[in-house]
Amino acid sequence: MNKRQEDVRNIATTLDSRFNQTLRNVQGLLKGRSIPGKILLSRRVDPPDNSNSKVSSPNYKRSFSHNDAGTSDHTSGAVESTSKPISIANASKLKVSTSLGGSPPEEFRKSTMGARATDSARVMKFTKVLSGTVVILDKLRELAWSGVPDNMRPKVWRLLLGYAPPNSDRREGVLRRKRLEYLDCISQYYDIPDTERSDDEVNMLRQIGVDCPRTVPDVPFFQQQQVQKSLERILYAWAIRHPASGYVQGINDLVTPFLVVFLSEYFEGDINNWSMSDLSSDIISNIEADCYWCLSKLLDGMQDHYTFAQPGIQRLVFKLKELVRRIDEPVSRHIEDQGLEFLQFAFRWFNCLLIREIPFHLITRLWDTYLAEGDALPDFLVYIFASFLLTWSDKLQKLDFQELVMFLQHLPTENWTHQELEMVLSRAFMWHTMFNNSPSHLAS
């Protein structure tokens, strides 16, 4: 064997060893053990700078019933950053560390000061990408994966979804035309008497009217009559224009992040102090149009999630089951032994994209990553939801069937902060990097 062949063999052996060690580290993380050293995954990109934002971060307050309350069994993790890399070659700069105790006051103060400094640099990166005559979407996705500054989120989301064109010269004209098209749709299909609708359309509008008051019931803002009227118009217009699926319960939840983000261009502070009656009808119409088109763009990439029998969701639930078996076989075996089907708890996760599972103030951050994934989102959801489920790995193995059902229906996330969410996303990216191209994994 010559020296070149020997070097190649040594490199292969080293990579295999690192993979196995990383897998053991992940499993240790799930079981609450500290990780030796740091897991290096991807390019470090710091979290968004809220202090420099022109519009302050909306303060979403969510209340939970007594049945929802509980304490989390997940590992306490301090995630320095999370980022979506361009390639595996860049998978060496994200630092994820775990801590079993609180930071000393001085150490915490220094880390906070450092974060603020890097936040400013991060905002500058967004500003540079967005200020170009033509926005480079790959660069924008890479930045957005780790979270978008609040005041930039409306513009970034429109670009990521392909609703607003990357060419700045065309943007204003395209948005004006699409907003007028939405107005025409409302005039043609919504602002008409029921006598001009088919029986199916009447029933569909009635169901939407029932579901709108149930949308994010923990956030008082969504109980405003004008908010529910906007939701109704958006949902009915979408259903009429997408007859293959029509309206499906759960889509009402998917409108809410868009509504809050596009309203944030006009309001600031606590979301429950916002009132749509303070806005002109033209502004409300534009916001509704942006929600409608962004919802349409999002669901274009997952059409079979909402057609008859929702086969897309069923397929992803199966992949989730297989992924959990691969990552944490004891949890997978216990769930199977108890006779619990993944479809019984994970269907809602895929149907509503976790909006009903975590505090609403974390949703827009989660959706930054969703939208940055683009067309790859459906498959990446499997990894996010596996990471979400296995947050409670040890807890799940101690529960019988009835306890599992109750626990998974009322997960103890009410006190979650961005730290817990970043840990979920970090693990999801890690597993995607390790398992996604494995030939024996996630067979169709």
DSSP 78-140: EE------SSGGGTT--EEEE-SSPPPHHHHHHHHHHHHHHHHHHHHHHHHHHTSSB--HHHH
Domain boundary residue, one of 300, 334, 359: 300
What is the structure's pLDDT at 119?
Answer: 81
The answer to whether residues 128 and 153 belong to one domain is yes
Residue 116 lies in a domain: yes
pTM: 0.76
Domain boundary residue, one of 236, 270, 300: 300
Residue 128 lies in a domain: yes
For residues 39 and 41, give the distance between their C-alpha atoms in angstroms, rounded to a whole number.
Answer: 6
The answer to whether residues 141 and 18 belong to one domain is yes
Q: Return the number of other C-beta atoms located less than 10 Å from residue 111's C-beta.
A: 13
The answer to whether residues 175 and 144 belong to one domain is no
CATH number for the domain harbouring residue 229 = 1.10.8.270
CATH number for the domain harbouring residue 393 = 1.10.472.80
Residue 394 lies in a domain: yes
For residues 48 and 116, give the distance between their C-alpha atoms in angstroms, rounded to a whole number.
Answer: 9
What's the total number of domains in the chain? Answer: 2
Residue 378 lies in a domain: yes
Q: In which domain, by residue range, is 201 found? A: 168-300
The answer to whether residues 20 and 153 belong to one domain is yes
Residue 444 lies in a domain: no
Residue 6 lies in a domain: no
Q: How high is the mean pLDDT in each 10-residue block of the chain (444 residues)?
A: 55 47 45 35 41 45 36 38 40 32 38 49 94 96 96 97 97 98 97 96 97 95 96 98 94 98 96 95 98 97 91 96 96 97 97 97 97 96 98 97 96 96 97 79 48
The answer to whether residues 140 and 249 belong to one domain is no
The answer to whether residues 60 and 132 belong to one domain is yes
Dmax (CA) of the chain: 84
The answer to whether residues 129 and 175 belong to one domain is no
Residue 78, beta-bridge partner list: 97
What is the structure's pLDDT at 108?
Answer: 34
For residues 418 and 398, give the distance between their C-alpha atoms in angstroms, rounded to a whole number.
Answer: 27
For residues 231 and 207, give the distance between their C-alpha atoms in angstroms, rounded to a whole number.
Answer: 12
For residues 370 and 350, give the distance between their C-alpha atoms in angstroms, rounded to a whole number.
Answer: 12
Q: For residue 292, give both structure tokens.
A: 């409608």
Residue 331 lies in a domain: yes
Residue 3 lies in a domain: no
What is the structure's pLDDT at 229?
Answer: 97
The answer to whether residues 296 and 334 belong to one domain is no
The answer to whether residues 32 and 157 belong to one domain is yes
The answer to whether residues 276 and 213 belong to one domain is yes
The answer to whether residues 25 and 46 belong to one domain is yes
For residues 387 and 103, give the distance between their C-alpha atoms in angstroms, rounded to a whole number.
Answer: 25
Domain boundary residue, one of 300, 332, 354: 300
The answer to whether residues 65 and 120 belong to one domain is yes
